[in-house]
Structure 1
Amino acid sequence: MAEKTLVIVSGGSRGLGENLVRALLADGHAVATFSRARTPFLDACAAEHPDAFYWEECDITDAPRLAKFVSTSTRRFGPTTALINNAAFATDGLFLFAKSQDIHRALAVNVEALMNLTQLCLAGMVRVRKGVIINVTSVSGLRGIKGAAAYGATKAAVDGFSRGLAREMGSQGIRVNSVALGYFESELSKELLESEQVQKIVERTPLKRVGQVGEMADVIRFLLSPAAGFMTGQTLVVDGGLTC
């Protein structure tokens, strides 16, 4: 089998991650992802793309298991040439009442584990002197959003990480960008989108709607493509104009 371009997607079992995995497989990439539980979608991908898809059960905060996942994926498909850091733990509610374990989990998943996975994938990218890293962040890291102080802090940290890493890795042919997403429709966000707070945000959004999950995925696919070959160290905002 000819070597495929390997894209690792964290949080690829549902929501935006599921949409990305589906689209990347259709684009001809080999895709590896992991999650804490198997889903019918993952089973379907394994059956339909046995030579281009790999899934492993893994919690992103389990560093040894994560290293094993990356090692197995690269043995199957070759060096990782693209990484989409999509997995996240969301906290919701006023920070005054936030539980310490939720704050710790958000930092562990959204920042520490993301950096760990990035470091694991960078080794292969440096060897072949090319690669693309895309960190999925949030508009809550760019502006204050009530009820998202802790979550926004983790996403702001990742935006800063993206810029610093872009400086370090540009000479190695590796591009690093963030995509700061606004509110968008997916099976995971239906209840949130019906809240009064989100409806008020929509009213303040120039396009007067939330995004579609496919619109978010398409921007990420653009950043993966040669069309974005001169873009690095950027935070691309996809929010219908909310932060303009």
Structure 2
Amino acid sequence: MSALPERSDGPAVPKVAVVSGGSRGLGRTLVERLLADGWRVATFSRSANAFTTAMTEEYPGSFHWERADLGEPDAMRVFVRTVGRLFGRVDLLVNNAGVLHQELLLTTPPKQIDSLVTNNLTSPILLTQACARLMTRHGGGNIINISSINAIRGFRGVSVYAAAKAGLDGFSRSLARELGTFNIRVNSIVPGFFDSDMTADVTERNREKIQHRTPLGRLGTAEEIADAILFLTSARAHFVTGQSLVIDGGITC
């Protein structure tokens, strides 16, 4: 997958990717692979770490990190304005960042409900809006929303999170119809259980149960989820839009 498309009016221009939550986990994997493939990458997280510092030093002019919090929706527009000023365009948005909180609905405080919806649905929508506006000025783009199998299969204690992720899937399908005329594709990736910060606290007993229920007999990896995302960014997926691609080892089949 080349990030340097041929242009007839001058030298090739690197494509620009925005990846939310790119300091660790799946986001970090995507940032690393996109940078290695020649993209310019902008990302944000609530705090810097050794990875974001290393990427800033290793890819000067091609990597941008700044502090931003999904819990502050207005920060999404500010972040994209900075990206536009630095890189001039956005070709790819991956709405990767999210927040998981497990608790029965009957005991979940209203503030926690509001926070889950804001972090997992409202802020990604606003980030998408800002990036899509830049995409329309430069001939199109690609938007990939990271959903969850919680959106398609019921699990105890995550009803609000599941509702937000299901909303993100519906948002993807409707937006694909709105933005297709601008040559912007919109899809969602629906990961199953894979090794990440969100599954780090899963007990060994529950991990064994998940693996037993999964036809392939194991959890996935961030690299495998990234493979699916990068497929949707490639020329092989130019006619794919409005779809939800489930990557779960078969646990929902």
Q: TM-score scaled to structure 1, two decimals? A: 0.95
- 1:205 to 2:218 alignment: no
Residue 38 of structure 1 corresponds to 48
Task: Choose which of 91, 101, 109 in structure 2 pairs with 1:81.
Answer: 91
Aligned position for 1:186:
196
Is 1:92 the counterpart of 2:69? The answer is no
TM-align CA RMSD = 1.5
Q: Distance in 2 between matches of 1:161 and 1:188?
A: 23
For 1:215, the aligned partner's letter is E
Shift of 1:69: 1.6
Give the 3 Å change call, closer, same or farther, for CA 66–187 of structure 1 in structure 2. closer
1:234 is aligned, of 243, 246, 250, to 243
Aligned residues: 243
Write the letter of the residue equivalent to 2:113: I
Question: What is the CA-CA distance between 1:79 and the residue it aligns to?
Answer: 1.0
Q: Secondary structure at 1:143's aligned position in 2?
A: coil
Aligned amino acid, residue 218 of structure 2 = R
Aligned counterparts of 2:152 and 2:58: Cα–Cα separation in 1: 39
Q: Which residue of 211, 216, 238 maps to 2:225?
A: 216
Alpha carbons 1:181, 1:238 under 8 Å: kept: yes
1:103 aligns to 2:103 (yes or no): no
- Contact 2:188/2:243 (<8 A) preserved: yes
Q: List, as ranges, runs of 4+ consecutive aligned residues in structure 1 with deviation greater than 3 Å.
A: 195-198
Structure 1 CA distance, aligned partners of 2:163 and 2:84?
A: 32
In structure 2, the partner of 1:160 is 170
Hey, what's the Cα distance between the residues in 1 that align with 2:149 and 2:72? 28
SS class of match (1:80): coil
- 1:129 aligns to 2:139 (yes or no): yes
Q: Deviations over 1:113-165 (max 9, x none)?
A: 01100000011111123100000000000010122211111100000000000
Q: 1:35 and 1:43 mapped to 2: Cα distance?
A: 12
In 2, the alpha carbon distance for the partners of 1:191 and 1:62 equals 26
Contact 1:4/1:78 (<8 A) preserved:
no
1:41 shift after superposition = 0.4
The match for 2:234 among 205, 225, 242 is: 225
Unaligned runs of 5+ in 1: none
- What is the alpha-carbon distance in structure 1 between the residues aligned to residue 82 and residue 166 of structure 2? 31
Contact 2:141 2:185 in 1 (8 A): yes
